[in-house]
Amino acid sequence: MTKVTGVTEVKIPVSGIGIRHKATESIALIGNPNAGKSTLFNRLTGLRQTTANFPGVTVEKHLGTVQLEHSAISLVDLPGIYSLDGISADERIAVDVILGRMEDTHRPSGLLVVIDATHIYQGLYLLEQLLELQLPTMVALTMMDAATANGISIDIEALQAALGGIPVYPVSSISGHGFDELKQGLEHITSIEVPVIPASWPELSKTAQQLALQLGEDWQRIDVIQALLQTHPDLAGKLGEQLGPDTVTNLRSKLFGDAPPAAAEARQRYAWVKNVIAEVQEHTPLYLKMSARLVRWTNRPWPATLLFFAVLMLVFQAVFTWATPLMDVIDGASSSLGHWIVTQMGQNAFSSFLADGVIAGVGSVIIFLPQILILFLFIIILEDTGYLARTSFLMDRVMRSVGLSGQSVIPMLSSFACAVPAIMATRVIPGRKDRIATILAAPFMTCSARLPIYALLIAAFVPNDSVGWMNLQGLVLFGLYLLGILGGLGTALLLKSTALKGPKPRFMLALPEFRTPNLQTVAIKLYDRGRIFLKRAGTVIFTVAIGVWVLAYYPRMDVEQYQSSLTENQATQSQGINAPSAENAQSAAQMSQSWLGRIGRKIEPVFKPLGWDWRVSSAVVAGFPAREVVVAVMGTIYAVGSDADEQSLAEKLRAATWPDGRPIFTLPMVLGLLVFYAWCLQCAATLAIIRRETNSWRWPIFAWTYMTTIGYVGAFVIYQAGSMFL
Amino acid sequence: MTLADMAPGDTATLEKIDTSDPGVIRLMILGMVEDITVRLENVAIGGDPLEVGFFGSSVSLRKEQARHFKVKRIPASD
């Protein structure tokens, strides 16, 4: 989900496929949100897909190839939309792609429209709008099993007839029913003829068709429709120029009466859809069964709130307890590998580079892969079951108290994974001020990159005890998540009552049903997340770890300096202060006169009021571009600065002392450091996305300054107050 | 009577919609137009927002917009 730029490819050979055809036609996959589009896409393309971004916008473009018996087609998955009105950014992009207005993206030669069999009401509305494009169109009717379970039966032939003969293929992504027929149909998609005048609003279609012919080559029917409906302001202006404003006004009042065009369109087309449903469907429940039962429970005020917190608690418990065995394996493997390298190659610059720079640095981040995958597994499941969307209904009240609406809940909850896609998800929020307030609140939520630091410090300094049925470490982690939520909500409240004061936000949202998540979809998403994390570890973190190793290893100390450091050490020992061993003292002395040590001591005064020594300070400073780097830097610093490489990083942190022997990582200092990480904005990708989504430098600069300041102040207050009382 | 005055479980027909609020138009695009039957499925803590079911879909909206939908209650059959 951090794919901001560039193209990432997933190419895994799939067995059982004979001849590979080269894709000739490009087909767009389009449908309502939650209509089962991505499941269908995955099922059709397997793993032969690539993900990129549409040029100039941060909307993901999924491309895949579908192998058919005699040919292959390339499939473009578009964002889920309800209409072509272009109200949201996603809708505008989908429309631009289909109409060939999008740079670098070919105009598709056909449309595969996905309609959820349990929601044909909204599905047919979008389909009727799409038919105005006059492109070869076919329909995949998904969720047939859910429809059957709810007693919905659809007369496919009658439906095809009502749609003017365009083919409709019922499919079930769970059982795979209907996919052979759908693929056979796709083979001939470009020869499908769509009705010239779609049935839902013949007056509009005819008027637009005539005008398009009259206006010449520049105009297609859909352009005229968008101009008349005023859903495309530029086209509306152009039409006014070409026909004269009076003619356009007359046309509008003839077509729409005195209602707003969009309202007239909804009335007109939905009236037709309603009649079609009466013809093709015997029984239409007002509400789906399985959903109804679950919703009753999950929406009752108190059970729902309890359930919400229980779910969050479960996630944090799982992140700690389930991941431990796997993390121990990775930890053991990386430290014995480092140790083995040093014993095989001896103590020299190159072995130190491999063991202390590469393995200790990158390894200390990779160790968190199991935790991050568990976190993502939960988030993906919550997303795919529809629970995440439901929470926006539940939380609308809470959000209203800070001046936002339930629509801000989904971005804020998906920030638990990563703030970058979360900030993109704010595009569904209609008001600009509400959107910016949500964008600035989202980075406070505990993202997966904060997890390594939290986990490291908690594992090192919070005892692994039980409090009732809860694990104390899990409880502290939960507290840190709460701290993030408080920071986010507080920020929203502050902004909404000052700089971003505005009208009360509206709240309207189509709520998806509860669904059993599709295993393949979950697996693909999880694989994607793991890949992104490892890629970052292999590139950004790897580079920083090497850079830090160089700074920490050079320049080497000469013998004289070493002698003097020893004498100094003996002096402190004779004073009876608990001083480090002679060997460690040598490493520490080397470390402290390295470039990193010199730079570190320059910045130490800034962070000394927080109880941080120069090593913690330089790790934190190095972490400003990407916060998980901090763990890698600490891994390298403490590996170069000690001889005992079998020790875990947590043990090294516990043993770290000030020159006079006092421990650095005291309880107030650790708590302060955790608070700093809960609130500080250490993520260049987030700043870049804020810049892109708000279209100004003002907001990213504000966010960075504001979050860094309150992180620093929070850590300062806790350290100073804690040191006074403890 | 408007959508905002319904009790959970009530069924009604949408009679007349006041389109002066842009939020209402958004709801119409989601399918809340005249002459359809809706049921008030749920009401959140504090009586707002509401969740309305129709044609197997559910849409959540605030009372403020719900007031723009005039409804005719359908009495329960039993």
Closest residue in A to B48 (Cα) is A397
Cα–Cα distance between A190 and B69 in angstroms, integer? 43
Whole-number average pLDDT of chain A: 83
Cβ contact (<8 Å) for A271 and B30?
Answer: no
Question: What is this model's ipTM?
Answer: 0.96
How close is the nearest chain B Cα to the Cα of A479, in Å?
A: 25
Please give the Cα distance from A295 to A299 (Å, whole number). 6
* Whether the predicted pLDDT of A577 surpasses 60: no
Q: Measure the CA–CA gap between A231 and A244, rounded to whole angstroms.
A: 19
Task: Check: CB of residue A32 under 8 Å from CB of residue A122.
Answer: yes
Cα B4 → chain centroid: 7
A286 vs B: CB within 8 A: yes
Going by pLDDT thresholds of 50, 70 and 90, the confidence category of residue A11 is very low
Q: Does A509 touch chain B (CB under 8 A)?
A: yes
Please tell me which residue of chain B has the smallest CA distance to A296. Answer: B42
Q: What is the rounded CA–CA span in Å between residue A315 and residue A269? A: 44
pLDDT single digits (tens) A316-342: 777 767 877 887 888 788 878 888 888
Which A-chain residues 101-160 have CB contacts (< 8 A) with chain B?
118-119, 121-122, 125, 150, 152
- CA dist A639 and A354 (Å) reads 11
Alpha helix (H) ranges present in B1-78? Answer: 22-29, 63-66
DSSP category for residue A192: P
Neighbours of A355 (CB within 10 A): 27
pLDDT confidence of A1, banded at 50, 70, 90? very low
Q: Work out the pLDDT band at A574, boundaries 50, 70, 90.
A: very low
Query: Would you say residue A583 has pLDDT above 50?
Result: yes
Query: Mind listing the pLDDT tens digit for each residue in A667-722?
Result: 899 999 999 999 999 988 889 889 888 888 999 999 999 999 999 999 999 999 99
Q: Which chain A residues contact residue B61 at CB under 8 A?
A: 507-509
Inspect the interface and report whether the beta carbons of B42 and A393 lie closer than 8 Å.
yes
Question: Which domains are seen in chain B, by residue range?
Answer: 3-74 (2.30.30.90)
Q: pLDDT digits over A205-217, tens only?
A: 999 999 999 998 8
Of A367 and A52, more confident = A367
Confidence of residue A53 (pLDDT cuts 50, 70, 90): low
pLDDT of residue A231: 83
Residues of B in contact with A277 (CB under 8 A): 55
Helix A202-215 with A233-243: angle, nearest 10 deg: 60
A28: pLDDT strictly greater than 90: yes
Q: Across residues A193-197, what is the average pLDDT?
A: 90
User: Is A285 close to B56, i.e. CB distance below 8 A?
Assistant: yes
Write out pLDDT tens, residues A406-449. Answer: 889 888 887 887 888 788 878 778 778 899 999 999 999 998 88
pTM of the model: 0.78
**Cα(A678)–Cα(A416) distance, integer angstroms:** 12
Q: Give the DSSP per-residue string, A394-405.
A: HHHHHHHHTT--
Ordered domains of chain A (ranges, CATH): 8-191 (3.40.50.300)
Q: Is residue A77 within 8 Å of A33, Cβ to Cβ? A: no
* Residue A259, min C-alpha distance to chain B (Å): 7
Tell me the H-state helices in A367-450.
369-385, 387-401, 409-414, 419-425, 432-441
**Which parts of A33-188 are beta strand (E)?**
49-53, 60-67, 72-77, 110-116, 137-142, 168-170
> Which residues of chain B are within 8 Å of residue A285 when distances are taken between CB atoms?
56
Of the candidates A476, A416, A484, the residue with the CA atom closest to the CA atom of residue A714: A484
Chain A residues whose CB is inside 8 A of the B35 CB are 271, 274
